[in-house]
Amino acid sequence: APVAAAPEPAPEPAKPSVNWETMSHDQRLELMKTVVMPKMKELFSAFDPKHYSDMKCTTCHGDGVKDKTFKMPNPKLPKLSFTDHFKKHMDKKPEMTKFMMEKVVPEMATLLGTQPFNPETKQGFGCMGCHNVGP
């Protein structure tokens, strides 16, 4: 009888090609314009084509675009409540909450050359990269 071939080993995860922490302001702007914005626009417009068809830098960065600081978190984005595993947001907007957790956070982490936020180590990109905490 033929012997089954051993399964192929899983490929190594891709190593990040950037390190946001060590990049200059100009390098960060270039990354945002050429990599982050196109990818995030693709994700958001696939999620809600009507609402995000005209996504711009101000969609996430708000007033930080005008003053050229691009400061994040943006106080004008919805404030997040972490109580009971985002219960408030899961009750009000479950699709958006899942989209942010399952698509946006992991993709942004990859694009910035880091890992998704790890609550144990307090390291990585997470919700607080863009949003403030609120009631």
Q: How far apart are CA 77 and CA 61, in angstroms?
A: 9
For residue range 106-135, what is the model confidence (pLDDT) as tens digits?
A: 999 999 999 999 999 999 999 999 999 997
Which residue blocks in 1-135 are alpha helix, DSSP H? 25-31, 37-47, 57-61, 87-92, 94-99, 105-111
pLDDT at position 1, please?
Answer: 58
Give pLDDT, residue 103. 97
Q: How far apart are CA 114 and CA 50, in angstroms?
A: 31
Please list the rounded mean pLDDT of every run of 10 residues in the chain (135 residues): 59 64 93 96 96 94 94 95 94 97 96 93 95 91
